[in-house]
């Protein structure tokens, strides 16, 4: 469960990215964040995994109030949140397996378990047997899927995605969205920021509309 | 997919024992991983090791030089001995018992009797007045005992001189205290110089390693951000840099060891020639096993210190954006 209670975020330069945002997202829900760029979608995601702190209000993630979370506890929060970026953010000097296995290494899993989970995650995104390849040899869509595999390999209860289909063609976008939908059915709370309105409409999921830092609609 | 998430998206908690095992695994993995990463840029690594090696070898070479001076008889040659002139003949019972007393004293290192004849012979040979001395019917020179004090401490040598002056059969005791004090001051000064230079070079080594590590961090900045984004703690991120620092320091110490040993071999010939010219047993000794071991420990320790001093704050500041 994810709760925002009258959350505002004002950056040091005075720009108010979010104003008085309140919302509640239940476990296993898939929610799209929509709105023009600069509406505060990224800021909202960053408040969930502690990359930013709210200026006002409370943020509760999985029953834990993270509004004033100490920096020491930030890592364990983040280990429970998978993130997917528009620009992949892969490590290009590491193999696909090393990239996907990163959250597992951080969690300190035994190597055998790591290899097994990497295999499972790669097969989930349709990249089975590609462990030893380097990211730069992969297509944009494949790189994005490696990023998704990395975000879910440690089976986090939360998954955040910022424009995950920004670089993909419509067919691939649909595939990726189908993956996210699968995860939510398995109990993962998924939040996807996107301005691909056609895709959102096709998914028929709950949508949170943001404009200039305010919630303009939050409906089924 | 996650049994914890079924119960309401509770945040997962890793057990303590699991965490300890993970910690151990990470360390074991990093030992080889960081070395492999360093060796993959052999030119840079060799250069860094060499710079550290030179910095570490300087105070060691200075120290070895001082130890050689302090330990060999060249120091004794510099240290003027106490000259005890006798009021009695060298073959008299008083002279024999005096010599015995001096030799038994714990404050005396050696006591050597120089008879009247020996003194005359030496004087004749050194002064060139042999002809004139031959003309004298009697030997005007007294017998003498040359005493080397057991300690180098100025005050106790003074006490020794006073004690000898009061002994039976002693005419006069000559001792150049100023000389002794000067030499001691010089040794203490050199000692300090070596200590200070060791300290400065150690700081230099920490700065070199810290700088190298900072460059590595700069080149891995985006990687560090991603790792932190997936929940890596500051300690986790720092760990590879501790090992990198350790390897840099250890390799530098090995380099310093090589530089020192090669320098000693290189210097051995000329030093021996010089020592022979001075009729001294002065010799530069190589580093012993335990000294070598200590050098390696210091090197590795400086590397680890560097990764703490100059890396920790730096790493904490890197946050995903």
Kindly list the distances between the CA atom of residue A168 and the CA atoms of A66, A205, B184, B304, in Å, as whole numbers in the listed order. Answer: 33, 20, 81, 46
Q: Which residue of A has its CA nearest to B21?
A: A108
Query: Which has the higher per-residue pLDDT, B273 or B253?
Result: B253
Are residues A108 and B23, on separate chains, in Cβ contact within 8 Å? yes
B3, B230, B239: best to mutate for the A interface, most A CBs within 10 A:
B230
Are residues B229 and A83, on separate chains, in Cβ contact within 8 Å? yes
Give domain status of residue A31, yes or no.
Answer: no
Are residues B320 and A80, on separate chains, in Cβ contact within 8 Å? no
Kindly list the distances between the CA atom of residue A192 and the CA atoms of A144, A189, B5, B201, in Å, as whole numbers in the listed order. Answer: 14, 10, 19, 55
Are residues A27 and B5, on separate chains, in Cβ contact within 8 Å? yes
Q: Of all residues in chain A, what percent carry a pLDDT higher than 90?
A: 37
A11, A157, A183, A188: best to mutate for the B interface, most B CBs within 10 A:
A157
Range of the domain at A132: 92-155
Using a CB-CB cut-off of 8 Å, the residues of chain B touching A83 are: 229-230
Residue B295, pLDDT score = 93
Residue B142 pLDDT greater than 60, yes or no: yes
Using a CB-CB cut-off of 8 Å, the residues of chain B touching A191 are: none
Using a CB-CB cut-off of 8 Å, the residues of chain A touching B227 are: 102, 106
Task: List, for residues B80-130, the tens digit of each pLDDT value.
Answer: 678 889 888 888 888 888 889 888 988 888 888 888 888 888 777 777 777
Q: Which residues of A28-49 are buried (b: 16+ CB within 10 A; e: fewer)?
A: bbbbbbbbeeebbbbbbbbbbb
Assign B281 a pLDDT band (cuts: 50, 70, 90).
Answer: low
Residue B267 contacts residue B62 (beta carbons within 8 Å): no
Give domain status of residue A146, yes or no.
Answer: yes
**Number of other residues whose CB lies within 10 A of the CB of residue B140:** 10
Kindly list the distances between the CA atom of residue B135 and the CA atoms of A76, B120, B123, B140, B192, in Å, as whole numbers in the listed order. Answer: 104, 13, 14, 12, 55
Kindly list the distances between the CA atom of residue A184 and the CA atoms of A162, A164, A181, B144, B185, in Å, as whole numbers in the listed order. Answer: 16, 16, 5, 105, 81
Domain count, chain A: 1
Residue A36 contacts residue A194 (beta carbons within 8 Å): no
Using a CB-CB cut-off of 8 Å, the residues of chain B touching A49 are: 229
Using a CB-CB cut-off of 8 Å, the residues of chain A touching B229 are: 49, 51, 78, 83, 89
Kindly list the distances between the CA atom of residue A89 and the CA atoms of A48, A83, A170, B244, B277, in Å, as whole numbers in the listed order. Answer: 19, 10, 21, 25, 72
Q: In what order do the strands lie in the sheet with A64-65?
A: A16-25, A2-10, A56-61, A64-65
Using a CB-CB cut-off of 8 Å, the residues of chain A touching B25 are: 108, 110-111
Give domain status of residue A99, yes or no.
Answer: yes
B231 touches chain A (CB under 8 A): yes
Q: What is the 3-state secondary structure (H, E, C) of B192-233?
A: HHHHHHHHHHHHHHHHHHHHHHHHHHHHCHHHHHHHHHCCCC
Q: Which residue of A has its CA nearest to B316?
A: A71
Residue B8, pLDDT score = 38
Place of tokens 């209860």: A157
Collapse the DSSP code of A139 into the 3-class scheme (helix H, G, I; strand E, B; otherwise coil) and give the result.
Answer: coil
Task: List, for residues A147-200, the tens digit of each pLDDT value.
Answer: 999 999 988 999 999 988 877 788 888 888 888 898 899 999 999 998 887 888
Q: Which residue of B has its CA nearest to A103?
A: B230
Give domain status of residue A69, yes or no.
Answer: no
**Number of other residues whose CB lies within 10 A of the CB of residue B28:** 10
CA distance B249 to chain A (A): 26
Enter the ipTM: 0.88
The two beta strands, A30-34 and A206-211, are parallel
Are residues A83 and B230, on separate chains, in Cβ contact within 8 Å? yes
Task: List, for residues A113-136, the tens digit of each pLDDT value.
Answer: 899 999 999 998 889 889 899 999
Give domain status of residue A135, yes or no.
Answer: yes
B312 touches chain A (CB under 8 A): no
Q: What is the CA radius of gyration of chain B?
A: 33
Task: List, for residues A24-47, the tens digit of each pLDDT value.
Answer: 999 989 999 988 888 888 899 999
Rounded to whole angstroms, how far apart are CA atoms A107 and B233?
10
Kindly list the domain boundaries of chain B, sorted by start residue: 27-73+184-317, 81-175
Q: Which residue of A has its CA nearest to B19?
A: A108
Which helix (H) or strand (E) is A218 found in, with range? strand A214-219
Residue B64 CB contacts under 8 Å (≥ 6 apart), including other chains: B260, B264, B284, B285, B287
Are residues A188 and B231, on separate chains, in Cβ contact within 8 Å? no
Residue B5, pLDDT score = 38
Are residues B236 and A75, on separate chains, in Cβ contact within 8 Å? yes
B6 touches chain A (CB under 8 A): yes
Residue A210 contacts residue A33 (beta carbons within 8 Å): yes
Rounded to whole angstroms, how far apart are CA atoms A121 and A118?
5
Residue B275 pLDDT greater than 90, yes or no: no
CA distance A28 to chain B (A): 8
Give domain status of residue A147, yes or no.
Answer: yes
Are residues A187 and B2, on separate chains, in Cβ contact within 8 Å? yes
Are residues B236 and A63, on separate chains, in Cβ contact within 8 Å? no
pTM: 0.73
Residue A161 contacts residue A84 (beta carbons within 8 Å): yes
Residue B69 pLDDT greater than 80, yes or no: no
Using a CB-CB cut-off of 8 Å, the residues of chain A touching B5 are: 27-28, 155, 157, 187-189
Domain B81-175 carries which CATH code? 3.30.70.3040
Nearest CB to A64: which of B4, B11, B23?
B11
Are residues B227 and A102, on separate chains, in Cβ contact within 8 Å? yes
CA distance A214 to chain B (A): 22
Are residues A83 and B21, on separate chains, in Cβ contact within 8 Å? no
Residue A52 pLDDT greater than 60, yes or no: yes
Task: List, for residues A67-98, the tens digit of each pLDDT value.
Answer: 988 888 899 899 999 999 877 688 888 899 99
Using a CB-CB cut-off of 8 Å, the residues of chain B touching A107 are: 14, 22, 231
Using a CB-CB cut-off of 8 Å, the residues of chain A touching B319 are: 51
Assign B203 a pLDDT band (cuts: 50, 70, 90).
Answer: very high
């Amino acid at each position: 469960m994810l709760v925002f209670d009258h959350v505002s975020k004002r950056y040091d330069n005075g720009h108010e990215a979010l104003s008085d945002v309140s919302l509640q997202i239940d476990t296993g829900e898939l929610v799209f964040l929509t709105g023009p760029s600069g509406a505060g979608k990224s800021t909202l995601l960053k408040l969930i995994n502690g990359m930013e702190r709210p200026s006002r209000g409370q943020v509760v993630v999985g029953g834990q109030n993270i509004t004033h979370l100490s920096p020491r506890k930030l890592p364990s929060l983040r280990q429970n949140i998978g993130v997917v970026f528009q620009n992949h953010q892969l490590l290009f000097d590491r193999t696909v397996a090393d990239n996907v296995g990163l959250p597992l290494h951080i969690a300190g899993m035994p190597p055998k378990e790591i290899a097994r989970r990497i295999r499972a995650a790669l097969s989930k995104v349709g990249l089975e047997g590609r462990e030893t390849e380097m990211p730069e040899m992969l297509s944009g869509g494949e790189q994005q899927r490696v990023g998704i595999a990395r975000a879910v390999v440690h089976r986090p209860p939360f998954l955040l995605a910022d424009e995950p289909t920004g670089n993909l063609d419509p067919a691939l976008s649909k595939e990726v969205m189908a993956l996210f939908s699968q995860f939510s059915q398995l109990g993962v709370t998924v939040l996807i920021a996107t301005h691909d309105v056609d895709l959102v409409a096709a998914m028929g999921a709950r949508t949170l509309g943001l404009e200039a830092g305010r919630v303009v609609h939050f409906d089924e | 997919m996650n049994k914890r998430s079924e119960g309401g998206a509770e945040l997962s908690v890793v057990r303590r024992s699991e965490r300890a095992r993970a910690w151990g695994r990470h360390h074991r993995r990093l030992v080889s991983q960081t070395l492999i990463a360093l060796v993959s840029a052999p030119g840079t690594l060799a250069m860094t090791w060499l710079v550290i090696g030179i910095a570490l070898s300087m105070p060691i070479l200075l120290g070895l030089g001082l130890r050689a001076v302090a330990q060999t008889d060249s120091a004794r040659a510099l240290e003027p001995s106490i000259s005890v002139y006798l009021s009695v003949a060298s073959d008299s019972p008083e002279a024999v018992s005096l010599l015995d007393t001096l030799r038994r004293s714990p404050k005396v290192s050696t006591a050597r009797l120089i008879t009247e004849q020996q003194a005359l012979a030496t004087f004749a040979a050194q002064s060139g007045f042999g002809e004139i001395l031959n003309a004298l019917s009697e030997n005007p020179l007294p017998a003498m005992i040359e005493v080397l004090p057991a300690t180098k401490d100025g005050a106790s040598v003074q006490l020794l001189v006073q004690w000898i002056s009061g002994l039976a059969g002693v005419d006069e005791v000559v001792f150049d205290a100023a000389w002794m004090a000067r030499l001691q001051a010089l040794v203490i000064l050199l000692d300090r110089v070596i200590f200070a230079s060791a300290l400065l070079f150690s700081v230099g080594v920490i700065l070199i390693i810290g700088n190298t590590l900072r460059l590595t961090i700069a080149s891995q900045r985006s990687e560090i951000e991603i790792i932190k984004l997936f929940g890596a703690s500051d300690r986790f991120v720092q760990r590879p840099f501790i090992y990198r620092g350790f390897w840099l320091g250890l390799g530098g110490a090995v380099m310093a060891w090589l530089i020192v040993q090669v320098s000693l071999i290189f210097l051995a010939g000329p030093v021996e020639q010089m020592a022979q010219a001075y009729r001294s047993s002065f010799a530069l000794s190589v580093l012993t096993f335990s000294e070598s071991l200590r050098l390696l420990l210091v090197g590795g320790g400086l590397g680890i210190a560097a990764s703490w001093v100059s890396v920790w704050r730096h790493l904490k500041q890197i946050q995903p954006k």
